[in-house]
Amino acid sequence: MIFTIESADQDKYPELFDEMFRMRAEVFSGRLGWNVKVENGREIDRFDSEDPLYLLSLDERSGQLRGAVRLLATTGPNMLRDVFSVLMPGGTVESPLIWESSRFAVNPQIFEARDRAEANHLVNRITVELLCGMVEAAQRAGIEHIVSVFDARMARIFRSIDCRFEQLGTPVRIGKVMTYVGLFDMSDVMRSQLGAVGDFRSSVLADGAIPPASATALVANVE
């Protein structure tokens, strides 16, 4: 299930945000070796204070964080415009109907103990669920396009799950990483294609409350 949380609600879910920032540190600094700033085991950058919308994939029963992505309006500060402008040297796209997604991550803890095939399957499934959530959240907000900066590894994942994107500009090697700008169509066609791949026919967005963080919390609630 995908939960949409505004950064203004950070105080309501401090543990969840903390878990997301720790997961981002583990993924982007630990596993991918990106040049991101990690403090106290948490990866937080200046765009986290630009009031983004976060989509979190949470396990319905245990409440465990399975993955997350961050959405920013392209009318305001965003990574493509302010960090990766070299990818679109003539100027980046900007409109209230275009959002930018960044920090797309799947929690390594959920596939660590599994064999390779099963781990790949899980990563793909959570990726598709997050993408379905992005299309649904965008459609609810009247958003028509999402742009994103990502690396060759992510481009491969998008292709393997048949998630169509169009390349804007030309890919550029930044450090060790080949970097792309992709444009995603937030249309019904996109949603049904993704739904068919991951078997997410009905809405993945949760309308209810966030599930409790752990089994013990669940017991405590019942008592």
Partner 1 sequence: MGRLKTFFGEAGEFGIGSRGLTVPVHGRLGDRALFSVTSDLSACDWASAKLLYMRDFQVLATHIHDRVLGIEGHASEPVSLSPRELECLQWIAEGKTAWECAVILGLSQHTVRCYLESARHKLHATSNTHAVSIAHRAGLLFDPL
Q: How far is the CB of 42 from partner 1 (least distance, A)?
A: 22
The site string for partner 1 over 149-168 (x = CB under 8 A, - otherwise) reads: -----------------x-x
How many positions of this chain bind partner 1 (CB under 8 A)?
29
Shorter beta-carbon distance to partner 1: residue 14 or 91: 91
| CA atoms of 72 and 78, how far apart (whole Å) | 6
Give yes or no for residue 20 binding partner 1 (CB under 8 A).
no
SS3 90: coil
Site for partner 1 in 71-100 (CB under 8 A): 72-73, 75-77, 88, 90-98
Stretch that binds partner 1, among 14-22, 118-126, 129-137, 139-147 (CB under 8 A): 139-147
Among the listed residues 14, 115, 142, 202, the single contact to partner 1 using CB under 8 A = 142
| CA atoms of 215 and 85, how far apart (whole Å) | 45
Burial class for 170, CB neighbours closer than 10 Å (0-12, 13-18, 19+): exposed
Among the listed residues 161, 183, 205, 217, the single contact to partner 1 using CB under 8 A = 183
| CA atoms of 116 and 13, how far apart (whole Å) | 33
Burial class for 172, CB neighbours closer than 10 Å (0-12, 13-18, 19+): middle
Give yes or no for residue 44 binding partner 1 (CB under 8 A).
no
Give yes or no for residue 185 binding partner 1 (CB under 8 A).
yes
Nearest CA to 150 out of 186, 108, 94, 100 is that of 100
Shorter beta-carbon distance to partner 1: residue 141 or 217: 141
Residues near partner 1, by CB under 8 A: 50-51, 72-73, 75-77, 88, 90-98, 140-145, 147, 166, 168, 183, 185, 187
